[in-house]
């Protein structure tokens, strides 16, 4: 069975017939794979007969595993420091196969900088960092780089609190910051992209896990036992949803996530729900329901252990064209192998197909 867990309780849905019926399953996907310390890609063609790797198409430049990454729509950016204490930011747009490279730090004194997060918009990049000091309080900055100019001029915005995470929505940068000196509480700082002016600051309290941008531009603040939504334009606090003990969706702990219009797709820590460390989960914000796709409920023991060799879930995504959930997983062993499966979601859930991959899936881009 597939299990649908509401914030206020749980219901169960039957798995249905596993056989693929008359579905339009035609799609192309680009999957970013981790293997042997680098990121590479696989281009997948899919139809009603299954998914296959198209070895003749590969527009993604192999890159070292990044220290930090940030996804914005069809593009993904990577931050890496260099041995000479400089640092670079590379943005791949998979919709048109373009790549932007920019230098983040070049000055000698940056060897001590502690970079905490990065993000980018269409023509600007943002790197939040700490400048440590042995004689006074550490300094905190958000560096804004202009990607439209070859020399990458920058503007540093000084922050009063330590930056932990950065994201972009519309013409604003949202920085999750922590007051490490006095209150030990979090704040959400809003900065105008063009001017660098701090336009708003919202107190978030303690125990914040992370911030995210939902499919409609609202800012989601995740806590262990609840989440809150801020309007991305007005910064007015909207809905706050509390969880019952034992029914927490736990998306604030997920290392990867994919937002649909009103749903979040992510690998969830399974706890006692599965023998696998993480399982595919979908959180419906409109209904406040978590739908858990547990391997044991739609694959036999032989399929899990011998046919697909599943060790753990590494990413969950969504194909809106075909209304399909895509689950990436690591295979057993140390050979860096993985796989991707497609699932038809409730109310008529079905396991559809699978493809083996030479690498562990980390991100998926429907083409």
DSSP annotation string for 33-66 = EEETTEEEEEEEEEETTEEEE-TT---SPPEEPP
Contact 148, 131 (CB under 8 A): no
Q: Between the CA of residue 188 and those of 126, 194, 202, 238, what are the distances in Å?
A: 16, 19, 5, 15
Per-residue pLDDT, averaged over 219-233, amounts to: 95
For the chain, the structural domain boundaries read 2-366
What predicted TM-score, i.e. pTM, was given to this entire model? 0.91
156's enclosing H/E stretch is strand 154-159
DSSP string covering 243-307: --TT----GGG-S--EE-SSEEEEEEE-GGG-SSSEEEEEEETTTTEEEEE-HHHHS-HHIIIII
- C-alpha angle 120-123-126 in degrees, rounded to nearest 5: 30
d(CA 315, CA 265): 9
Six token digits for residue 117 = 């997060």
pLDDT at 107: 66
Q: Is pLDDT of 14 > 60?
A: no
Q: How many CB atoms lie within 10 A of CB 82?
A: 11
* pLDDT classification of 216: cutoffs 50, 70, 90: confident
Per-residue pLDDT, averaged over 306-328, amounts to: 96
pLDDT at 145: 94
Per-residue pLDDT, averaged over 133-158, amounts to: 88
Higher-scoring residue by pLDDT: 1, 24? 24
d(CA 173, CA 228): 18
Q: How many CB atoms lie within 10 A of CB 104?
A: 22
d(CA 31, CA 94): 10
* Model confidence pLDDT, tens digit, residues 80-111: 998 888 899 999 999 888 999 999 987 666 78
Domain 2-366 in CATH 2.130.10.10: yes
Distance from the Cα of residue 151 to its chain's centroid? 30
Per-residue pLDDT, averaged over 144-148, amounts to: 92
Spatial neighbors of 265 by CB under 8 A, at least 6 apart, are 257, 258, 259, 280, 281, 282, 316, 317, 318, 325
pLDDT at 265: 97
d(CA 261, CA 271): 28
């Amino acid at each position: 069975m597939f299990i649908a867990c509401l914030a206020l309780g749980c219901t169960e849905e039957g798995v249905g017939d596993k056989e693929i019926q008359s579905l339009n399953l035609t799609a192309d996907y680009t999957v970013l794979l981790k293997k042997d310390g680098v990121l590479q890609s696989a281009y997948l063609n899919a139809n009603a007969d299954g998914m296959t790797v198209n070895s003749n198409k590969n527009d993604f430049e192999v890159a070292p595993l990044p220290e930090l990454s940030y996804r914005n729509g069809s593009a993904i950016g990577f931050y890496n420091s260099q041995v000479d204490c400089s640092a670079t930011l590379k943005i791949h747009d998979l919709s048109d196969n373009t790549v932007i490279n920019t230098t983040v730090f070049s000055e000698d004194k940056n060897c001590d900088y502690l970079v905490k997060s990065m993000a980018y918009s269409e023509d600007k990049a943002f790197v939040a960092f700490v400048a440590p000091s042995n004689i006074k309080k550490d300094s905190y900055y958000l560096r804004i780089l202009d990607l439209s100019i070859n020399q990458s001029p920058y503007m540093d915005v000084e922050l009063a609190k330590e930056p932990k995470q950065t994201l972009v929505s519309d013409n604003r940068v949202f920085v999750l910051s922590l007051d490490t000196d006095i209150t030990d509480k979090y704040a959400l700082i809003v900065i105008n992209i063009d001017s660098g002016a701090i336009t708003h600051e919202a107190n978030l309290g303690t125990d914040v896990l992370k911030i995210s941008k939902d499919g409609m531009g609202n800012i989601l603040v995740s806590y262990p036992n609840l989440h809150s939504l801020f309007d991305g334009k007005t910064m007015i606090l909207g809905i706050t949803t509390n969880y019952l003990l034992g029914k927490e969706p736990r998306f604030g702990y997920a290392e990867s996530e994919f937002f649909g219009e009103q749903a979040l797709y992510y690998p969830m820590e399974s706890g006692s729900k599965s023998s696998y460390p993480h399982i595919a989960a979908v959180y419906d914000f409109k209904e406040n329901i978590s739908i858990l796709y547990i391997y044991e409920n739609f694959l036999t023991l032989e399929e899990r252990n011998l046919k697909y060799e599943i060790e753990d879930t590494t990413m969950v995504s969504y194909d809106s064209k075909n209304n399909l959930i895509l689950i990436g997983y690591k295979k057993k062993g140390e050979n860096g192998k993985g796989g991707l499966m497609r699932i038809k979601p409730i109310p008529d859930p079905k396991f559809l197909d699978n493809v083996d991959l030479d690498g562990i899936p980390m991100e998926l881009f429907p083409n």
